[in-house]
Amino acid sequence: MFAQTKLNIHDRHVQSLVRTLFMLMTALLILPVLAILATLIVKGGSMISWDFLFSDPTDGMTAGGIFPALLGTIWLVAVALMVSVPLGIAAAIYLSEFAPDNWMTRIINLAIINLAGVPSIVHALFGVGAFVLFFGFGTSILAASLTLAIMTLPVVIVASRESLQAVPQAFREACWNMGATRWQTIMKVVLPNAISGILTGVILEVSRTTGETAPIMFTGAAFFLPFLPESVFDQTMALSLHLFVVSTQVPNVPEALPYGVALVLISMVLLMNSISIAFRMYLRGKKKW
């Protein structure tokens, strides 16, 4: 009665074939990632040293370190985050918790999704027009960071909104039914349960801005500066632009240098991602519902 039939055997073969095929495709997918990392480590690993990270470039950027660019990137990303995170979270809270389900809201949601698809060079031009010229910030960290912020805003909103919507509706209703206002419900129940997801999601998305070149190139990042930025109104060097410059614009650069810069850049991104993933796993382990 329970014996295998021909059809069972056939089905099992099909299944194992499909599984193997899909596994191979997955392997193909992570191959480029591993290849990139391996190349960078092999070719640029020898560059990495205390001096490389913490001293200025010398000899027309063909020797020395990358400190101004490293510091500049941190500046740019930090200021961009300070703008986009509060704004994005506020918008996400509005959209998830307050906005009525009408055509206005739907149009806003649509706009956000489309905004996420705008090419970064277009953001760059917008940044020049708006922040450098119109608001008169000049080419500065402020203008560049604001451009980055506008660019990352859609992803911050989407990531935050998803975390907010992952909080079970039953919690909100429980609060409302005890007479809490929407705002009280948000503060006491929704945000405390979503904030970790929001922050990790935001870090994950925003770490990508670390590598952006186009939006900062016309708005605040410089090829080479003999001094470190002192305020947000200064220009700055940045890792991504520095990588572009030493790979294509400067003659007689030792082969390992661009690889070294790239390795530092990608390490920063990976570091941020791992922190955010570790944090998320930690919180997920703690959550019970």
Partner 1 sequence: MNHIQNAATAHDEPVIQTRKLNLWYGDFQALYDINLNIRKGIITSLIGPSGCGKSTFLRSVNRINERLGYVRIEGSIDVMKQNVYAPEVELVQVRKQIGMVFQRPNPLPISIRDNVLFGHNLHNRDQKTSRSEQDDIMEAALRQVLLWDKVKDRLNHKGTSLSLEEQQKLCIARLIPVKPALLLMDEPCSALDPKGTEAVEELIWELRGDYSILIVTHNMAQARRASEECIFMLMGKVVEHTSTEQMFVTPKQQQTADYIEGRYG
64 DSSP β-pair partners: 57
- What is the smallest separation between the CB atom of 279 and partner 1, expressed in angstroms? 19
- CB-based contacts of 41: which residues, under 8 Å, 6+ apart? 263
Task: Please list every residue from 70 through 109 that binds partner 1, using CB under 8 A.
Answer: none
Q: Which position among 181, 227, 271, 284 is part of the footprint of partner 1 (CB under 8 A)? A: 181
Q: Which position among 71, 189, 195, 269 is part of the footprint of partner 1 (CB under 8 A)? A: 189
> Per rule CB under 8 A, is residue 274 in the interface with partner 1?
no
- Comparison of 73 and 185: residue with beta carbon closer to partner 1: 185
- Comparison of 19 and 106: residue with beta carbon closer to partner 1: 106
- Comparison of 5 and 169: residue with beta carbon closer to partner 1: 169
Instruction: State the residue for tokens 């920063």.
Output: 268
Instruction: Single out the segment in contact with partner 1 by CB under 8 A; choices: 88-96, 113-121, 177-185, 260-268.
Output: 177-185
Number of residues that bind partner 1 (CB under 8 A): 19
Instruction: Compose the 156-175 pattern: x for residues touching partner 1 by CB under 8 A, - for all others.
Output: --------------xx-xxx
Q: Which helix (H) or strand (E) holds 90?
A: helix 67-93
Q: How far apart are CA 20 and CA 103, in angstroms?
A: 46
Instruction: Single out the segment in contact with partner 1 by CB under 8 A; choices: 142-150, 184-192, 217-225, 276-284.
Output: 184-192
Number of CB atoms found within 10 A of residue 221's CB: 28
Q: Where are the beta strands (DSSP E) in the chain?
A: 57-58, 63-64
- What is the smallest separation between the CB atom of 101 and partner 1, expressed in angstroms? 8
Q: Is 165 exposed, middle or buried (0-12, 13-18, 19+ CB in 10 A)?
A: middle
- What is the smallest separation between the CB atom of 275 and partner 1, expressed in angstroms? 25
Q: How many residues does the chain have?
A: 289
- CB-based contacts of 253: which residues, under 8 Å, 6+ apart? 61, 62, 246, 247
- Comparison of 269 and 283: residue with beta carbon closer to partner 1: 283
63 DSSP β-pair partners: 58
- What is the smallest separation between the CB atom of 287 and partner 1, expressed in angstroms? 8
Q: How far apart are CA 32 and CA 34, in angstroms?
A: 5
- Comparison of 171 and 218: residue with beta carbon closer to partner 1: 171
Q: What angle do CA 199, 92, 135 make, to 5 degrees?
A: 95
- The site for partner 1 (CB under 8 A) is made up of 170-171, 173-181, 184, 188-189, 192-193, 287-289
